[in-house]
Structure 1
């Protein structure tokens, strides 16, 4: 709509103000964003343009004159000492050059080399303000509406990296970038009587994924993404629950910097680091807009290797005196802007929605999409997670949706483009019966998942078999979804143990199966008859028992018989195995169906390897083990072992395997196509082993 008169403009302006206010409320107050940054900025840009064209409709309460919405109830709300304003956004290099040109016009200086900027990664987190008195943390406020925020002090006291007391720290750390170095020596940094700093609360990707895996193993729903989870966590009333969640913080601003003798943003970052605050390490001080653009291009490529979410680069004029000259608009500072990286989203149409049944009976809705390219692959499906998520998104068959590909294998739907609806879309009704076997679908009280009640549902059977043969479990090459589908449908296989009774003649009669392929599959199945105990236990698909729990149980009990007959008390006493897992394991091995399955495996000659059990009093580790006390990180592809096999070999010799490189890492094992972990190891001076050196170490 392009209004041609004042009355049309008034109607559109009122509509835009209402829409933006609703989005602000969901984003700032409820921590449930309902629109992308790009779409939000388009609405705001349209409103700004109309208000400029039709000034008679100016309203001081317009969203263009303020930031965000009102704080939620449940916490005390307090005023910010200075408003927490948002930066304006830009999505192209041309717009970033226009920003630089505006700065030049205000300063009256066209020479590019006269303008020095700081460029800092824009962390996709939750804005926060912290106050310190005599070096002690006394108050923490959320952004709120920019003028007032929620008092979440108790929750913030649990955040990793947030110092309860500040004091001089070393500033010459290896990770400090050019923008963060240059702080005075620690002995020269005085602790201020009053200090207010601002930053972002975030969750690392690796910790978020690990936490979600633990939740899934415990039968709890997965969280959607780190940013929303961090926002929701800060609003929790129980700080004990907050303490269980892996929140972290980075700081980037000192309020009233002049009272602390700070004259630039680069000085401020160094000062924060000197006082012991965590500062994002990749900030840079750059001369001229060309250097800024080069930095943005570099990090647009490198950001996916980082262990935290970043959606852009914050560009600020470095000198505070020049910032003072430029000042602010009613909405944002003139001296800074956020450059947004190209998003990892795609837009497509929902053709159908299908409910799929997993190995534990979970009914998961999956959207079948018009094919669209995303990050170099063609996407045809996206998960909708559960019934609650369908209702939250409001997705219908026929809708145009935005999809995103994160750490999951299957992309997810993140929003519906309601403005593209034609009226022909149809709501999806979640079925009350299993689409595969017709049994009832039930939802237990307090759970998100809807489950099929028929344990012998063919879909569950197929999913259990696929889990058993999957990579990282028994790793039976060639046995995939299409083959398992045919084997179950034709009655050749009813459980994983039946795989070992298959003959080549059974396979050659199947679709698209030749003699050679059939023989290769039989050979692969035969090669899995002597799995490690940990992999076999994982393959059984016991509820709540993931890879880590399976390994712990295998190490503790040493044999399948010992585990099968273990008392619940023995299981609970095993470090890392709580009452929930113990009860699930004991219940699984107490069932007649399980006994029958294990006897079937035994008759088929499937015998998990035994090992010397590690008793609880030895759980801390055998100091005589050759790799005791050593921590390894694996990266790249090894020629002679899978990563899981390499990890098992390390653990069997007393070593520890972690997913990320740190100063505490002893060795990085680098195979072919090693990635950013190798670079980080080299930067930290950590010993890097190629495959030959690794094998030699294992043999020594």
Structure 2
């Protein structure tokens, strides 16, 4: 046997041993034997660089550094799933399928809290890994995927194959990573999903290799090419090819069976070595899946059941105060760290003094904590029967904890405010808001960067952002500020000057003016000058601009400091105008419209833009002031409320026809 043949033999052996270890947890050789063979392979590959193979087992542990990720178009769109939340909604989904599919079967599988991924294979070799991205275009992260030991680089199938699934970070890996981050004084990851996503997007694959990611695969994209006719058969075929497929799945024939299986997995959830946030219910028949098809965003043959929010108990150690950009005072709960829905929670926002009082929260209380929507930690209640006399009522502060100014509670509001406009906390928060993604979108000026530049003395107000260019040389003298990063920061600041008036208005942080109100004002007035010269009477006539918002806008422009800020921004070349959008006359003109259910012809964002172009005000909830509710499939409580209130209803098909008519007439 020559050395080339030995290299090929070693690669096959090590691949086999990796699959045994990572996929089946049944290693047939010791770690020492595996390491010995790996060292032999690496020595031979170094001796024969002409035999380099990116899929070699040795490449799983050798890092490669990229300049960026290549954008790749998916051959078939990667769809997201619709959600159901209870037995009744699962039953409605099942009955809808059963209307079209006789003797329908369903495969119920775990829903992982990770990063969706597509793997491509040709001639028995791994060729590419692509992230979901926007469903149409993802990023090539093949180098990082090669570092995951359970993913086969070679398979015994020469035809083209596309396998889809989820890359995740096991709970143990997540805990080890955060322990390492804490030891090195770095920011902790919020949850395993964020950690997995951040790891996959590392340009240096050796960093990804250290993160110990794993994956489960659940979708055989081109299964029909192999004569496969069911989801269960597709999963079995993937297992035969040594892809890691979760055994926690079941074929069910009715809602009761589906529900029982979901409950059994829910009971095991905390003991699983990976995070799941629900279960996926799929029609088993692949031909029937193809026949039912998909909407613009989601398949009709599958849905995801989301687990209810998990509630746990912990101790309320303290309540601290933060000061926002508007001077708003926010109390925050300091909690004994506790694991909730996959992450360790040590803090939660308490919003205002009234919330603390209504929940009767005391320092030292045992409290119930959950995550709203599985994301945001919240304190649900205190457990009064657990009190032992050591708990202390919380006294809300009368002075700002940062500048010492007297706090004010405005009439009709539940929040307290620091009204000192020069309060250091307000200054920093106002700049962070101004540069944020939803505002001026200066991505090189993150929260920490702004705080640091404020400490250096370069940023003390919003207008200072546009004078950073005058401090370029001084910035380059600071540790961590290199030519490339500083120039990129200055370029993004310069680019932000092109943002339209509506974005600028939101960035200025006018009290009561959110993103939607800022765009309404920009479209109504067209220029900053027109808005500055408006009256209370004109403002209150604008839809969605009420008395309090109008007074806040006038108060903002009456302050000399704000007038000076706008003048400086104008002199620095910021855009002070909003391009007029053409509004088509239609039955929706000056009407309030609510969208509900799953739309097939448009995404929700597209439908909203169309309605706004037809003169409608698109609201998020149904009320007596709603003029129309446009509904798609699986419409729920909003549709029911609209019926009860007698609001005019319009199906999606009627909406599509109405849009067509309006555009023809214009």
TM-score normalised according to structure 2 size: 0.45
Given the two structures, how large is their TM-score scaled by the length of structure 1? Answer: 0.43
